[in-house]
């Protein structure tokens, strides 16, 4: 997937919650694209699978999956996102899971606005392959 971002400012100056706002959309789009290209399914099935992956509980696991692989700068952005204070609470996740998910989304938003398409895909592929491996182990 190629993104075309023409932002020339300092992305690191954005609020971590603003980065997470963008990152949520990026992460959701990547998930939907991967689900559609993996198999031709009915839309309601795709929506259910997408909702299972684009949720605080799942993204919290993904946060810890990629954290050791991040550069110092990326880890700082993810931690800023995790430590941000959102104005609302998670419905179906613990506060810690919600904060970790916000950190992951902030990272994806940062990478997107920085034009780091290859890095986005590298991290998303690691997340996706980890999810697939865990599902196969549970069969």
Domain ranges of the chain: 12-130
- DSSP single-letter state for residue 14: S
Looking at domain 12-130, what is its CATH homologous superfamily?
A: Ribonuclease III domain (1.10.1520.10)
State how far the Cα of 22 lies from the Cα of 105, in Å rounded to an integer: 8
Question: Residue 33, SS3?
Answer: helix
Nearest-angstrom CA–CA distance, 75 and 136:
29
Please identify which of the residues 24, 38, 62, 131 carries the catalytic annotation: 24
Question: Whole-angstrom Cα distance, residue 63 to residue 106?
Answer: 11
As given in the structure block, the two tokens for residue 35 are 């689900």
Cα end-to-end span (Å), the chain: 30
**CB–CB of 101/60 below 8 Å?**
yes
* Radius of gyration of the chain, Cα coordinates, nearest whole angstrom: 15
What is the predicted pLDDT for the residue at 88? 76
Q: Verify whether residue 125 is a known catalytic residue.
A: no
What digits encode the pLDDT tens for the residues 9-56?
788 789 999 999 999 999 999 999 999 988 888 888 888 998 889 999
- pLDDT of 1 over the 70 cut: no
Q: Which residue has the higher pLDDT, 51 or 123?
A: 123
The span from the CA of 51 to the CA of 106, in Å, is 19
The 8-class DSSP code of residue 42 comes to -
């Amino acid at each position: 997937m190629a993104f075309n971002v023409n932002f020339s400012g300092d992305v690191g100056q954005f609020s971590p919650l603003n980065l997470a706002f963008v990152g949520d959309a990026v992460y959701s789009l990547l998930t939907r694209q991967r689900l559609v290209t993996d198999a031709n399914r009915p839309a309601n099935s795709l929506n259910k699978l997408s909702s299972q992956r684009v949720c605080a509980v799942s993204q919290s696991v993904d946060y810890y999956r990629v954290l050791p692989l991040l550069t110092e700068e990326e880890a700082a952005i993810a931690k800023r996102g995790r430590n941000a204070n959102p104005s609302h609470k998670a419905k179906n996740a613990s506060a810690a899971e919600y904060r970790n998910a916000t950190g992951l989304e902030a990272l994806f938003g940062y990478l997107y606005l920085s034009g780091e398409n290859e890095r986005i895909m590298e991290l998303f592929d690691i997340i996706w392959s980890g999810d697939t491996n865990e599902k196969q182990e549970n069969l």
